[in-house]
A = this chain, B = another copy of it.
Amino acid sequence: MHETALRVRFDEVDSMGVVHHPRYLIYFEVARTDFMRSLGLAYVDLMRSGTHLAVTEVGVRHLRPGRYDDPLVVLTRCTAVSGTRVELRYEVRRGAELLAEGFTRLASISPEGRPVRMPREVRDRFESVVVE
């Protein structure tokens, strides 16, 4: 599982003093970019090549609140891949505590937003690390 370290920013905390729940999707996105870079798939290059991975579905379960300045780790793994789709799963941890877990499903699309097959190389990279 790929690990991405983050520290909770002040603007990410709501008036209850806890990480505002939509921010976990941002953490997932930061972790996803980092995970893909570790596979040699720079998101910037991908976009320049004319393929974009659009988020088609997300789910998050919130178990414990994150707080301002907490050092967090996001664990990312690829749990499914096909010609046009990929699913990633995430765990957000503070030390041994699990704060949230979730998934994103992504579909490869053209710059005009039409579904297209993922470049073979991109699919291969995801397949090389798929688990479960």
Which interface class (under 10, 10 to 19, 20 to 34, 35 or more) fits A? 35 or more
Are B10 and A29 in contact, with the CB atoms below 8 A? Answer: yes
- State in angstroms the CA–CA spacing of A98 and B15 once bound together: 22
Encode contact with B along A92-132: 1 for CB under 8 Å, 0 otherwise: 00000000000000000001010000000000000000000
- State in angstroms the CA–CA spacing of A22 and B26 once bound together: 7
Are A58 and B21 in contact, with the CB atoms below 8 A? Answer: yes
Are A68 and B52 in contact, with the CB atoms below 8 A? Answer: no
Are B14 and A10 in contact, with the CB atoms below 8 A? Answer: yes
Residues of B within 8 Å of A10, CB to CB, are 14-15, 20, 29-30, 33, 43
8 Å CB contact of A60 from B30, B57, B69: B57
Are A9 and B29 in contact, with the CB atoms below 8 A? Answer: yes
Are B58 and A60 in contact, with the CB atoms below 8 A? Answer: yes
**A56-B62 contact given A10-B43, A15-B15, CB 8 Å threshold:** yes
